[in-house]
Amino acid sequence: MRKWWMMVALAIATMAAFPTAAQEETGNNNLRLRVGVFFPTKSETRDAADKAWFTAGVEYALQPLVSPGIEADFTLSADFMGNQDMQNIPVQLNLTGAVSRFTWSVGAGIGFAKNIAGEAKTGLTYSVGIAAELGTTRVPLELGVMWRGMTNVNNQLDGVAVHLQVRF
């Protein structure tokens, strides 16, 4: 468990140190980094592999969606959710939009996972999330909640992720 906390601390320190320079160079907020906690919803999963897991991810805006009345981007993301016994690495194409101080996202892709039995699995992953901007900071910082799911593993890897996200 100590290893996970060290990884979280290192990720937060990295997120705090590097975005300032990137923001000054580009100013377009195309890259997003997030770190947080994933809570599996299935009791069988929580019993076998802990109630809370480490999660981290990276997301990059590929193309803006050009449509009247909507501000959104198509993004590509890769995340990690897991512990020593189980894990999921979803790689997804997302649609991410903004409304006032909130951002929303929906996505789908493929997940590379290890289930309760230790078997490697792949399946369709999907997510729906919302995040709120925390104050007015030089580098946009958001607190987000995201539902994540995956097929082909009997809902073992479905759950809710709570994360801190920085955009630069």
Backbone angles phi, psi at 101, to 5 degrees: -95, 15
Question: Is the separation of the CB atoms in 89 and 111 below 8 Å?
Answer: yes
User: What was the pLDDT predicted at 154?
Assistant: 83
Torsion of CA 106, 118, 5, 12, to 10 degrees: -30
What is the C-alpha to C-alpha distance for residues 82 and 150, in angstroms, rounded to an integer? 13
**According to the model, what pLDDT value does residue 29 have?**
74
pLDDT of res. 13: 53
Question: According to the model, what pLDDT value does residue 7 have?
Answer: 54
Blockwise average pLDDT, block size 10, the chain, 168 residues: 52 50 52 95 83 94 84 94 90 93 94 87 95 84 94 87 92
pLDDT single digits (tens) 85-106 = 889 999 999 999 988 889 999 9
Render the burial of 117-154: b for 16+ CB within 10 Å, e for the rest.
eeeebebebbbebebebeeeeebbbbebebebbbeebe
Length of the chain: 168
pLDDT at 26: 42
d(CA 82, CA 12): 18
CA angle 163–121–55, rounded 5-degree value: 15
**Cβ burial 23-60 (10 Å sphere, 16+ → b, else e):** beeeeebebbbbbbbbbbebeebeeebbeebbbbbebe
The CATH number, out of the four listed (2.60.410.10, 2.60.120.380, 2.160.20.10, 2.40.160.20), of the domain defined by the range 2-167: 2.40.160.20
